[in-house]
Amino acid sequence: MLEQIEQVLDARVRPQLALHGGGIQSLDCEGGVYRFRLLGQCAGCAAADLTTELLIQEELLQAVPGLIGVELVCPVSDELLRQARSILSQSHGG
């Protein structure tokens, strides 16, 4: 199923994301649910949920039999965690 998903992403989704300086990374597909993260300008974008629903989910559910859902995974980067810790330590006198 992941191979089919990648074909759809290459043909229909990645070109659209690239127009906005973004991309998509497949993480896994288990139990009919595809999990991914957005890359580049799309990562952390305020419209990420809308992109997921209107572009990625719609294209994949139409084209991949047996797929029942898609899930955007939004991990916090190590750099962002470092910055947050720095800010918090400064504000607490540490």
Q: Which residues contact 27 (CB under 8 A, 6 or more apart)?
A: 35, 36, 37, 73
| Sheet of 69-72, strand order | 22-30, 33-40, 69-72
Report how far residue 42's alpha carbon sits from residue 51's, in angstroms, rounded to the nearest whole number.
Answer: 9
pTM above 0.85, yes or no: no
Q: How many helices (H) and strands (E) does the chain have?
A: 5, 3
pLDDT of residue 59: 96
pLDDT of residue 27: 96
pLDDT for the residue numbered 75: 66
